[in-house]
A and B are shown apart, each in its own frame.
Chain A
Amino acid sequence: MCAICGCVGAAESSHQHHHAYDHSHDTARLIRVERDLLSKNNEYASLNRGRLRDNAVFALNLMSSPGAGKTTLLVRTVSDLMARWPIAVIEGDQQTSVDADRIRATGAPAVQINTGKGCHLDAHMVGHAIGDLLPEPRSLLFIENVGNLVCPAAFDLGEAHKVVVLSVTEGDDKPLKYPDMFAAADLMLLNKADLLPYIDFDLTACCAAALRVNPRLQVLILSARTGDGLEAWYAWIEGHAGQLPPPAVRLP
């Protein structure tokens, strides 16, 4: 709205002027803003993180290319750990509730977020999903991001840790080709390791590339299909989730 005559801005009306005088609409001025483009997302992420921490909910954000085996890994993980922890899952996909249906078949509660044309989950969507799920105090929350090795890396969801799943069929050069994802993650799971004897995948080169991008990255090698290596993954989860403080307040 114009401060001088109270007329609305050009974007809100055709803004036809019939004044007999000129009040210099064209005088431009500069406003210094200097704010991060992700600041709104980061505010929502902070809210999510505080809410999860207050309820001692340990949240992991799983990211990978499409087809790396995130859902298969989650179905197996949920089935194996649900006797030890209450578990809830947030599933992100552009379309369908196929993944949430697969999780619910294990007996764990799951919410599906369909992003439509969106290529990643953001903290605002995840906040609503947490509100729908109301994870129990002292529970695990898995967030399966949209299959995409690029965009989800930039969006903090309020999780405790980001986990990147890379399947060995994708090639050992991915950490250098898509460095932001590997730089953002705390843990890399190398999935489909049962296929290693049949493909040209240089495990040493892949790990070296990932560590070059992110020297503090931890790496576990596993197969969600055969179950090899899953105990180390479960030990990692329990080791980190066990550090949670007791719940402060219940989710509203």
Chain B
Amino acid sequence: MTSTDPAATLPEQRSYSETGVSGGLSDVRLAENPEPRCACLLLLDTSASMNGEPIRELNNGLLTFKEELMSDELASKRVEVAVLTFGPPQLVTDFTEATSFQPPTLQASGDTPMGAAVAMGLDRLQGRKRTYDANGITRFRPWVFLITDGAPTDLWGTAAQLVRDGEARGAFSFYAVGVKGANFGILNQIAPPNRPAAQLDGLKFRELFSWLSKSMHAVSRSTPGATVNLSTPGWLTTQS
């Protein structure tokens, strides 16, 4: 049943107009497609209670994040960072490729409108997704990273619902991190049930952002069916 073609099945003669000087496979050109993107949205508490050492370490953490994203060629091209601080809710850095991300120097002041910040951030993330889609840019699942040392001073029920809905749809992976003093009772109602809030050990913001950067390295090169191995977070508190 297996053989070479008998002459009887030959189709009629055709001419091939592209015939020319053949350079073999060196003539094959490779399509230039935009890199797939992995959006990383940072929702950072910059309320007055973060003043002093905490905000300084948070700023150092952002510098570490940039540095370590740049140490990986693929991640530097694929990861897009946005920074939204509260309060008041303010998009300090809109989504930008890691290569052009300028870590902002944040200052602490005001209260903690976490609910509004989460809603505003997720809305912006949705907008970025539309931009990718409109430009034929493929995506990895975005990461949303919330860091706070307090409790929301605004209504946060809607935000919590948006997080749960988005997680359930697979629209993003949401991580909540509480610094000492955070209200974990409320934070765990905002965080998705399958991924409760983590507690930062002291002010290990640099370790936290180093881990986040490594996670982005892993996610931004993952292929279908491959397990994404996240490194052990060295920034978690050992007390529960």
A binds B: no
